Chains A and B, each alone.
Chain A
Amino acid sequence: MRQIFEDELNELHVRFSEMGMMVNEAIYKSVRAFIDHDKNLAREVIESDKQINKREVDLEQRSFEMIALQQPVTSDLRMIVTVMKASSDLERMGDHAVSIGKSTIRVKGNRRVPAIEKDIADMAEVVKKMGEAILDAYVKEDETRALEIANIDREIDRYSDKIYKACVQETQHDPSTVVGNMDYLLVASYLERIGDYVTNICEWIVYLKTGKIVELNTNLNETL
């Protein structure tokens, strides 16, 4: 009796997962472009963000329509709310990938610091894994896994801290590297923000499964 609704819910679910993959790819490419100084790849990331934004609007429209026409309750409602909320987190993650792309384009023949670039690459790898894991946890509606993933955010924060200190040190040591170090710092903070958005999605997975609204990893007590 609710076959059409089931189909629509499934379509929403699939399109949300696809959006997650698009965003993960954008993050991955943006970091690679930054490390490789590949401005073409950076432009590709910026260009592809239009598709991500379009997808978010599409998911919102579908959700509004389903709420208006089907008046969903319980797990159906939670699924739709989760997609609406988590898709805007994904969209913001995509925006940060764009910012990393813009940093890449801005960089002109700066002196490079391999040690910091290695840390950024490692940090990006963790962020990427977090992004992939969260999609998997969403598909499986695995709230235990979501809580584990949220904990990985601490690792990202540690990288962020480490890169910050290294940039300060490097600048003190050789002031001519200041412009490049500023960009390193920016990219690290974009990655750190992406980790925070993944944590938000973890919270929505907990809601999806249990109906409880939780606050994971608040950064209130942390300083750099």
Chain B
Amino acid sequence: MQNYASEDRYIKELDPKKHEIALSTEDLHVFYGTSEAIHGVSLPFERFKITALIGASGSGKSTYLRSLNRMNDNIEGTRVDGKIMYRDIDINGKGVNVYEMRKHIGMVFQRPNPFSKSIYDNITFAPKRNGIKNKKVLDELVETTLKQAALWDQVKDQLDQSALALSGGQQQRLCIARAIAMKPDILLLDEPASALDPISTSTVEDTLLSLKDHYTIIIVTHNMQQAGRISDYTAFFHLGNVLEYDITSNVFQRPKIQATEDYVSGRFG
């Protein structure tokens, strides 16, 4: 892989008066043991927008995404330095209740991973454990979240059937529905469509675009066209640094950094 000068970078500044920032990181470093995987990344994430994190395998984009709701805490020897600011609180701080925080910042993974339960129970699993017992409230929650995830019409007559009987695309939308059942502010998605066929990919993308009205979405994707189609902002990761962060249409039409140009046009990666 060609080496690019890592000091050569462009990070678009968002004016806080014009753009409401839902989440941001300040000089975030991630270490696996002694090796540093993320070298001080500062990024803003605008409220009700989709930000795509792109970059080659090993560039650190998934590591960074997982840090945002402290998924890296569970990996032995991992250390995350720097700030993750959410509602004026540094959620990377010591006293933070991680489980409480994850209600606000939800995650959807690459491979659909519904629980081996009914569709209904998948959605209500977490809300029930958080004390919602009223059947009517739970029924409503199932309906609204499945509608938001564009799955309701297909599954409304089979809510008691196993989620594992659904197609891959439907399973993934169920996982999105499950994530939004806790009414998070922010939805993190790690390559949510990479295990799906083009039609399912397209429905998941449509789902994300419709969710944008209510959620701030941060998505890791390997698919350049997907980033172009759905995101408002794009951050390009390279060897643990963000080399370019800008409005998506700029990144795909006239990026300011050569490494970005080479990556998005398929010259490496």
- Tell me the A residues contacting B by CB distance below 8 Å: 1-2, 5, 71-78, 210-212
Please report the C-alpha to C-alpha distance between residue A134 and residue B253 in the assembled complex, in whole angstroms.
Answer: 24
Q: How far is the CB of B221 from chain A (nearest CB, A)?
A: 14
A-B contact list, 14 entries, CB within 8 Å: A1-B266, A2-B265, A71-B224, A71-B225, A72-B265, A73-B224, A73-B228, A74-B254, A74-B255, A74-B261, A74-B264, A75-B261, A75-B265, A78-B254
Chain B 233-269, CB-CB to A under 8 Å as 1, else 0, gives: 0000000000000000000111100000100111100
Q: Does A211 contact B266, Cβ atoms closer than 8 Å?
A: no
Please report the C-alpha to C-alpha distance between residue A211 and residue B256 in the assembled complex, in whole angstroms.
Answer: 11
Q: Which of B81-118 contact A (CB under 8 A)?
A: none
Q: How far is the CB of B106 from chain A (nearest CB, A)?
A: 31
Q: Closest B residue to A209 by CB, please name it.
A: B254
List 9 additional contacts besides A72-B265, A74-B254; criterion CB under 8 Å.
Answer: A1-B267, A2-B267, A5-B266, A74-B261, A74-B265, A76-B265, A77-B253, A78-B253, A211-B254
Count of A-B contacts judged by CB separation below 8 Å: 32
Please report the C-alpha to C-alpha distance between residue A78 and residue B264 in the assembled complex, in whole angstroms.
Answer: 14
B interface SS class: helix
Chain B residues contacting A72 (CB-CB under 8 Å) are 265
Q: Which has the most chain B C-beta neighbours within 10 Å: A72, A74, A210, A211?
A: A74
Q: How far is the CB of A40 from chain B (nearest CB, A)?
A: 49
Q: How far is the CB of A105 from chain B (nearest CB, A)?
A: 47
Q: How large is the interface on B (under 10, 10 to 19, 20 to 34, 35 or more residues)?
A: 10 to 19
Please report the C-alpha to C-alpha distance between residue A65 and residue B264 in the assembled complex, in whole angstroms.
Answer: 19
Chain B residues contacting A77 (CB-CB under 8 Å) are 253
- Tell me the B residues contacting A by CB distance below 8 Å: 224-225, 228, 252-255, 261, 264-267
Chain A residues contacting B225 (CB-CB under 8 Å) are 71
Q: Closest B residue to A1 by CB, please name it.
A: B266
Q: How far is the CB of B129 from chain A (nearest CB, A)?
A: 44
Q: Closest B residue to A76 by CB, please name it.
A: B265
Q: How far is the CB of A212 from chain B (nearest CB, A)?
A: 8
Chain B residues contacting A73 (CB-CB under 8 Å) are 224, 228, 252-253, 264-265
Please report the C-alpha to C-alpha distance between residue A74 and residue B246 in the assembled complex, in whole angstroms.
Answer: 14
Q: Closest B residue to A212 by CB, please name it.
A: B254
The 3 closest A-B pairs by CB, nearest first: A211-B254, A73-B252, A74-B261
Q: How far is the CB of B194 from chain A (nearest CB, A)?
A: 17
Chain A residues contacting B252 (CB-CB under 8 Å) are 73-74
Q: Closest B residue to A77 by CB, please name it.
A: B253
Q: Which has the most chain A C-beta neighbours within 10 Å: B261, B266, B267?
A: B266
Q: How far is the CB of A84 from chain B (nearest CB, A)?
A: 16
Please report the C-alpha to C-alpha distance between residue A209 and residue B216 in the assembled complex, in whole angstroms.
Answer: 35
Q: How far is the CB of B237 from chain A (nearest CB, A)?
A: 17
Q: How far is the CB of A53 from chain B (nearest CB, A)?
A: 30
Chain A residues contacting B266 (CB-CB under 8 Å) are 1-2, 5
